[in-house]
Amino acid sequence: MAAELFSAAQVIAIKRDKLELSEPAIKWFVDAYVRGVVAEEQMAAMAMAILLNGMNPTELSNWTKAYIDSGTTMNWSALGRPTADKHSTGGVGDKITLPLVCVAAACGLYVPQLSGRGLGHTGGTLDKLESIPGWRASLSETEMFEVLQNTGAVICAANETLAPADRRIYALRDVTATVESIPLISASIMSKKIAEGTGALVLDVKVGSGAFMKTTQQARELAQTMVAIGKNAGVATRALLTAMDVPLGRSAGNALEVAESVEVLAGGGPSDVAELTVRLVQEMFEAAGVMPTKDPVSALTDGSAMDVWRNMIVAQGGQVDAPLPRAKHTHIIRSTEDGYLTKLDALSVGIASWRLGAGRARKEDLVQAGAGIQWHATLGDSVKAGSPLFTLHTDDEDRFAGAVEALTDGYAIGPENEISDRLPLIIERIQ
């Protein structure tokens, strides 16, 4: 057996002492962890040292590259057309990926979208799409290329050869209280997106109670860090900070969000979902350095984005015209008075949806396809006594009590002058 270049304790001590890790040390440490030379407790110690002492841009680029180099990378140059992707840091009612890939493809981009499943109160794109009967998330790279070439867009799960170091470290962070580390968050997101092989990347960094980043300052730091990593790797990258103090659209839950996305693709649906979809598509074209073949707004009204949706779902085995799953039970929460919806908290809505069965507490948990919540008014809307505010959906009636409890302090009815201030939908742009 060949001698190792470093010892794990030696490399950990460098970061513990707030010194700079060299590229060879980082490359060895991550590779040795994947090979089993660096033990779990040693990587846990390194993760905590990074959380406490941070990483400079050079270290972080090298750490991300080590994740990428631990597995395979994809290349879409054979498509002969620009590729672009979007990544969201997650929120409540955030179904933007579903209409976005279709609008972008209808306007001339190829969109290879590797997505994930939800955890906690934030939904996962794959969970939403798996509510469509027959739809497959797991595709081989050949299948992914064929769907992309034939339809212009593909949404699927990342295979296990893509940044495997990140997959292991991600799980470790969850049990070592190091999830919050901005360098580790950034490397995790960007390693998979860079390995995915997209030519341009737009980041949707959510801000507010329903987001991972609660403040604009936190979100800005994360966005700037990820944009720098992307640019250093040669991927045209930019970010939008967008609002997640109030949930997006009018529904949270897997089949419910698919149905709402189809409404948007048909030229209707909630205005905030349509607006953010179009804005992010415009950013994707700017990042890719090409002009769209048509106005993204028109792609939602002329049927071309819907055509992409139907073709993409069918290409992945989905029964595009089949009824979506519906929960066995519903419960309506009604307004007790006339007034205005003066508060609608994204986190409360997300937790309610999760408790109804739309989300999971652990990766191995199952989700209910039809579970979730619809809100019939949004912040600032006028409501009448007896009018429905929320419809709760679940297969298990025992879940209603927990969901109602989560919503209790999440909304309020009052006079117009008590309507809470809200963040603008687009807060800031970082390039």
Compute the C-alpha angle 119/218/271, nearest 5°. 65
Sign of CA dihedral 317, 320, 323, 326: positive
Strands (E), 14-147: 84-88, 111-115
Amino acid found at 345:
D
Secondary-structure breakdown of the chain: helix, strand, coil percentages, each rounded to the nearest 5: 45, 15, 40
Separation in Å, CA 292 to CA 238, 283, 285 = 18, 11, 7
The secondary structure of residue 96, as a DSSP letter, is: T
Instruction: Please list the active-site residues.
Output: 87, 166, 173, 188, 192
Look at strands 200-207 and 236-243 and give their pairing: parallel
Amino acid found at 340:
Y
| Cα R_g (the chain), whole angstroms | 22
Alpha helices in 334-394 (DSSP H): 346-353
Under 8 Å CB-to-CB from 258, ≥6 apart: which residues? 95, 98, 128, 129, 131, 132, 324
Separation in Å, CA 361 to CA 121, 156, 358 = 9, 22, 10
Report yes or no: 371 and 327 within 8 Å, Cβ to Cβ: yes
> Comparing C-alpha atoms, which of 22, 4, 75, 11 is closest to residue 45?
11
DSSP state string for 236-247: EEEEEEEE-SS-
Would you state the torsion angle of the CA atoms of residues 184, 186, 187, 188, taken in this order, to the nearest 10 degrees? Answer: 80
